[in-house]
Chains A and B, each alone.
Chain A
Amino acid sequence: MNIVVCIKQVPETTEVEFDEATGRLKREGVAAIINPFDEYAIEAGLRLKEKYGGVVRALSMGPPMAEQALRDAIAMGADEGWLATDRVFGGADTWATSLTLALCIEKIGPFDIVICGLKTTDGDTGQTGPEMAEHLNVPHVSYVNEIGDVKDGKVRLRRNLDDGIETLEAPLPLIITVSKDINQPRLATLRGRLMAKRAEIKKITNQELGKDPKDLGLDGSFTRVVKIFTPPPHVGGEVIEGSPDELAEAIFRKLREEKVI
């Protein structure tokens, strides 16, 4: 199987804090990591390869430093790392990102399945996978929590919806986004890390894609960020201390007051 896994390098957002006084993100010491949701996608790709053979190619778009995320994917077991990096790709929204990635996938060669994480922890949109499906004109299945058998050019999938779990059969080639309960991503082995260090990361610039720069990156984006601000704090109320009984009584009174009981 030709398997492509799309990944992104993100700041470790759980550590990103907003400095109220200066209105800036505190970036000092915040590590750049593989988007945690993408590790499930990599694991899903590796398991498909283990079962059916083939190649797992990790693909990312980003500045040159995003190479590290691809090396991390190789350390986990991916065969190749591809980085779409070019100034004209910068500032892209999900439309322009999905277009660039789709062009890269076509450039890399035939594929059977493209696997994406549910969303990224920085942008939080979950849109790039399904938008890529439109650009590549292949079907897309989101929230996949189980990849079943691949047979006669079709794959059996299970996915989480709000009101239950759906089992589907989809033809290859296909794009899926996987949810966090699909697997437990493996840790990189020492050998994997050594291999990753030496691995060649293949670069794709717009020279290879040959696209008009005004269709890519910020120029090719339909959305524009016009303002960034800190979420307004929730107005708090009373903080009470006391014996367990006093506390229980205070909550009880509050519940009565709010007509909950």
Chain B
Amino acid sequence: MTSKAPVIVKDSCNGCGICVMACPFGAITIEAGRAVIGEGCRVCGACVDTCPSGAIEVAKVEVLDLSSWRGVLVFAEQHGSVIHPVAYELLGKGRELADHLSEPLYAVVLGKGVKPQAKELVSRGADTVFVFEDPSLESFRDDPYTDALADVCKEVKPSIFLIGATSIGRSLGPRVAARLKTGLTADCTGLDIEPETKLLRQTRPAYGGNIMATIITPNGRPQMATVRYKVMNEAKPDPSRKGEIVEKPLNRKAMTDRISIVSFEPAGDQVSITDADIIVAGGKGLGEAKGFELIRGLANVLGGAVGASRPTVDEGWIEYRHQVGLSGRTVRPKLYIACGISGSVQHQAGMRTSDVIISVNKDKDAPMCSISSLAAVGDLYEVVPRLIEKIKEYKMRG
């Protein structure tokens, strides 16, 4: 039986089995003296490079003519008619992609009282801003938001559509992509344009951050991606920029809203770790829940937020909203102080782009030490209290 994968095994295959070893996904078997590519194939090309007989090839992906789709569209998420900063990051990256393609950059915003925000989106790089202004769109609703975004895509026909990988974006993105019958790449950390084909190259972590994958959407439009917050650089405002603001009427007849919101409890005024400039985080090295008192102490003198590694959350030492890492939040503070965190790949995936990383760890071979700007090898219970004292003393002296 031939494989569906666009990986072709030619007659020159002698069944040596080297590719079986090379396949990271265990997708190749030798059947009747010949390599057979199975359904686990992810077309990574590892077998192509290792085959001594040059018998494996990846078939070229055919690209349909999709030239009527032009421009980059950015979804500007808002809360209480304040634009979520991830939208400015998307505009920063979107501008770069649009300039590279010599195509326009669009933004779309939905909400109540959001029209004044459209100017801000123009100053951050949008050439055209589409505004859906309606009381029913005040807070996020899966159904009407999907309807409106799918409609705007059908009309504007952008080649690329970027959405922040926030909880809203990761719920909304798949709905819109499925509605438009196109591909969606989740939680991207890198985006660029392939020079030859002009396709969007979408890079993202997978397998718990152990590998990175670059993904294209050759035959679907728009090329959709959710983009991780705090990874791209924010577009800086330029009030002199000119752009068009287009109000879009809601197509009420076509709108659905099958779900009703009963109530909303805001998370409170605690510093959210995603927005904090300074994060002091604790890990398993704390040994017990009480250890977070020390972490809070250091965070307090520095005016920072408290972060945590997954094991401490799993142990119930601290609430989930403090969790940094692949299954928690991604953070990009100016300073990240890791106390007693060994630094698993999963944890690193959520904080490695911090500007400065300082760690305190007993084990000098801990992965966290190797990514720290400064790694202090010692007992956090001895080091951190002394550090807090020094900072307090310094502040007292003014």
Contact = CB atoms under 8 A, between A and B. Distances in A.
Interface of A: 11, 13-14, 16-18, 22-25, 27, 63, 87-91, 93-95, 98, 121-131, 133-135, 139-143, 156, 160-171, 180-181, 213, 217-219, 221-231, 233-242, 244-245, 247-252, 254-255, 258, 260-261
A242 B127 CA distance: 56
6 contacts: A25-B24, A126-B170, A236-B371, A237-B373, A239-B372, A248-B383
Residue of B140, B204, B390 with most chain A CB atoms under a 10 A cut-off: B390
A17 B272 CA distance: 32
B44 A225 contact: yes
B382 interface: yes
B39 A233 contact: no
Given A124-B206, A127-B184, A170 B259 contact: yes
B358 interface: yes
Contacts, number: 318
Contacts of A217: 4, 39
Contact of B265 (A88, A165, A242): A165
B391 to A, nearest CB: 6
Interface stretch (B95-103, B213-221, B233-241): B213-221
Contacts of A222: 181-183, 217, 219-220
B17 interface: no
Nearest to B260: A169
Interface stretch (B110-118, B129-137, B151-159, B171-179): B171-179
Counting from the closest, the 10 A-B pairs by CB-CB distance are A90-B39, A222-B183, A222-B220, A134-B178, A248-B386, A244-B382, A234-B371, A125-B186, A223-B183, A130-B174
A218 B4 contact: yes
Interface in B159-191: 166-168, 170-171, 173-175, 177-179, 181-187
Contact of A123 (B43, B46, B206): B206
A121 B187 CA distance: 13
Interface in B327-365: 327, 334-335, 337, 344-346, 348-349, 352, 356-358, 360, 364
Contacts of A260: 278, 302, 334-335
Nearest to A227: B214
A240 B214 CA distance: 37
Nearest to B204: A124
Nearest to B176: A134
A251 B142 contact: no
Contacts of A128: 174
Given A25-B207, A90-B39, A164 B267 contact: yes
Contacts of B185: 223
A140 B262 CA distance: 16
Nearest to B178: A134
Interface string B1-25: 1011110000000000000011111
Given A25-B24, A87-B1, A238-B373, A95 B39 contact: no
A213 B335 CA distance: 51
B166 A162 contact: yes
A33 B41 CA distance: 19
A13 B187 CA distance: 18
Given A239-B375, A254-B373, A94 B262 contact: no
Contacts of B184: 94-95, 127, 131, 223
Nearest to B199: A226
A167 B39 CA distance: 41
Contacts of A89: 39
A258 to B, nearest CB: 5
Contacts of B214: 225-229
Nearest to B348: A234
A166 to B, nearest CB: 5
Contacts of A142: 167, 170-171
Residue of A94, A141, A239, A250 with most chain B CB atoms under a 10 A cut-off: A239
B51 interface: no
B32 interface: no
Contact of B208 (A13, A219, A226): A13
Contacts of A250: 374, 376
Contacts of A63: 38-40
Nearest to A171: B258
B187 A125 contact: yes
Given A93-B183, A239-B377, A247 B360 contact: yes
